[in-house]
């Protein structure tokens, strides 16, 4: 059975954001505007996306 993946793109800058939001972006593998990552769809990843929802967009599910 293949794992479900989601694609996440960073659309906001981490400049002047709280440290936990910066660390969450790094944890997702994002650190520059426009970067895109394909991540496994797990509750942990969904929670991280929710934490920085104003800085990222889910491109594909």
And the tokens for 38?
Answer: 């394909």
Q: Are 10 and 30 within 8 A, CB to CB? A: yes
What CATH number should be reported for the domain whose range is 5-60? 3.30.1390.20
User: CA-CA distance, 39 to 28, in Å (whole number)?
Assistant: 8
pLDDT, tens only, 17-51: 999 999 999 999 999 999 999 999 999 999 999 99
pTM over the 0.75 mark = yes
C-alpha dihedral sign at 14, 19, 21, 24: positive
pLDDT score at 6: 95
Vertex 35, ends 31 and 16: CA angle to 5°? 35
């Amino acid at each position: 059975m293949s794992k479900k993946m989601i694609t996440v793109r960073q659309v906001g800058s981490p400049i002047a954001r709280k440290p936990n939001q910066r660390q969450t972006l790094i944890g997702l593998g994002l650190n520059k505007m426009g970067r895109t990552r394909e991540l496994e769809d797990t509750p942990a990843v969904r929670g991280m996306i929710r934490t920085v929802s104003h800085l990222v967009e889910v491109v594909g599910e």
